[in-house]
Amino acid sequence: MPRATTPRRASVADVARQAGVSVGTVSNVLNRPETVAPATRARVEAAIEELSFVPNGLARQLRAGTITTVGAILLDIRNPFFTEVARGIEDRLTAADHTLMLASSDDDPAREARYLRLFEEKGVVGLLVVPGSLDVEPLRAVQRRGVRVVLLDAASSSPDLSSVSVDDAAGGALAARHLLELGYRRLTFLNGPHTIRQCADRLRGIREAVADEGLDPDVVVEEVRLTSLDAGGGDVAMGRLVDASGGRPPEAVLCVNDLVAVGVQRALRRLGGTALLSRVACVGYDDIDIASELAMPLTSVRQPALEMGYRAADLLLARGPGEPAEHVVFQPELVVRASSLVPGRARAGAGGSSPTS
């Protein structure tokens, strides 16, 4: 195991010796240069240069206790939605002269726990996390120890944790209503594990929209649980569905995110060419940048990724240790494109009234 012992680096003591001053003076040059006589300051700076001295941030932080680093734990760094969120976070943080360190949990609770601990040990001032598992207890524990925590893309189950999220039930309902209005009476939902709250909520929204229409969700909605929420996962799942259907694949598919939808399209094209692809109505989620650029432009539920990140960082920065938690909820929006509009199908209008939830 290639652990490493940091080699000996120059320290304030070395610099002090080299410059013929005391460590206190070196520290002053570093932190309050104006209090040091120009001549000595010059000597110290020369010594710093000479030894290529870089202050040890750990020691400094250990002593001074001031920090400007924020950690973020995202679900999947390869999902453009999350990188867009990260960008929003960075924008806000940079404006406040803080810096962001990123990690990707891949919905693996062990990884999430590891990064949680790592960031806490590294002494971040706060943590932005998109929780994969439902268990927020470790997060509350971290917060109790003085690390500011903001939940991202997850309405906080425990109200003492601040959060920024999108109304996922509304989003699911938006997507379902769209397909129902187009006349579909059987909806296949390619979902993720219900331990991810977004997944559970979107399903709920879908079922509610169906019920609102006077239909029986148990009959109308078929849920398929994927384990990997990316193009590969969508591809495999759709492949199985087509195989199992004896040539009659689902007519209308809802996907828990756009990556999965891309996979669905890939599978359809592979198995039945453009003919098959254009015969199934498909709705994605997130409205990632390239959704409109696809061979089959993707109808999708838009979430304001950038704003979400920005706002989350905002909450984190604004929040003093003892203050009450805040919750920001954005509303999703349906963007209709070709993928849901099968040629020859009646079209009843794309929009929709306001959501139930």
Using the rule CB under 8 A, is 272 a contact of a second copy?
Answer: no
Contact pattern for DNA over residues 133 through 162, marking x by CB under 7 A: ------------------------------
The single-letter code of the amino acid at 168 is D
b/e code 308-322 from CB counts within 10 Å (16+ = b) = bbbbbbbbbbebeee
Nearer to a second copy by Cβ, of 11 and 133: the residue is 11
Q: Which of 11, 30, 40, 69 binds a second copy (CB under 8 A)?
A: 69
Edge-to-edge strand list for the sheet holding 252-255: 221-225, 187-191, 252-255, 281-286, 299-302, 333-335
Q: Which of 109, 193, 297, 352 binds a second copy (CB under 8 A)?
A: 297
State the minimum distance, in angstroms, from the CB of residue 146 to DNA. Answer: 11
Quick one: 166 or 288, whose CB is closer to a second copy? 288
Contacts of 352 (CB under 8 A, 6+ apart): 173, 174, 177, 178, 181, 334
Q: Is 341 in the site for a second copy (CB under 8 A)?
A: no
Q: What's the token pair of residue 296?
A: 């089959």
Distance CA 233, CA 245 (A): 18
Report, in Å, the least distance between residue 145 CB and DNA. Answer: 11
User: Residues with Cβ < 8 Å from 354, sequence gap 6 or more?
Assistant: none
- Look at phi and psi of residue 214 and say left if phi exceeds 0, alpha if psi is from -120 to 50, else beta: left
- Is 26 a binder of DNA (CB under 7 A)? yes
d(CA 188, CA 283): 10
> Is residue 309 within 8 Å of residue 86, measured between CB atoms?
yes
Residues whose CB is less than 8 angstroms from the CB of residue 185 and which lie 6 or more positions away in sequence, other chains included: 215, 220
Residue from 34, 37, 39, 65 in contact with a second copy (CB under 8 A): 65
Q: Which stretch binds DNA (CB under 7 A): 23-31, 109-117, 126-134, 197-205?
A: 23-31
DSSP string of 81-121? HHHHHHHHHHHHHHHTT-EEEEEE-TT-HHHHHHHHHHHHH
* Identity of the residue, 13 or 141, whose beta carbon is nearer to a second copy in the bound complex: 141
Question: What residues from 199 to 238 belong to the interface with a second copy (CB under 8 A)?
Answer: 231
Residues 179, 340 contacting (CB under 8 angstroms): yes
Residue 197 interacts with which of DNA, a second copy, none, CB < 5 to 8 Å by class = none
Q: List the one residue from 36, 86, 221, 342 that touches DNA (CB under 7 A).
A: 36
Judged by CB under 7 A, the chain residues 56 through 115 that form the site for DNA are 56, 59-60, 62-64
Residues of this chain, 170-199, that bind DNA according to CB under 7 A:
none
Name the DSSP class of 316. Answer: H
Q: Which is nearer to DNA, 25 or 191 (CB)?
A: 25
Q: Which stretch binds DNA (CB under 7 A): 51-59, 103-111, 134-142, 238-246?
A: 51-59
Site string for a second copy, 90-129 (x = CB under 8 A): x---x-xx-xxxxxx------x--xx-xx-xxxx-xx---
* Residues of the shown chain interacting with DNA in the complex, contacts defined by CB under 7 A: 8-9, 11-13, 20-28, 30-31, 35-37, 39-41, 53, 55-56, 59-60, 62-64
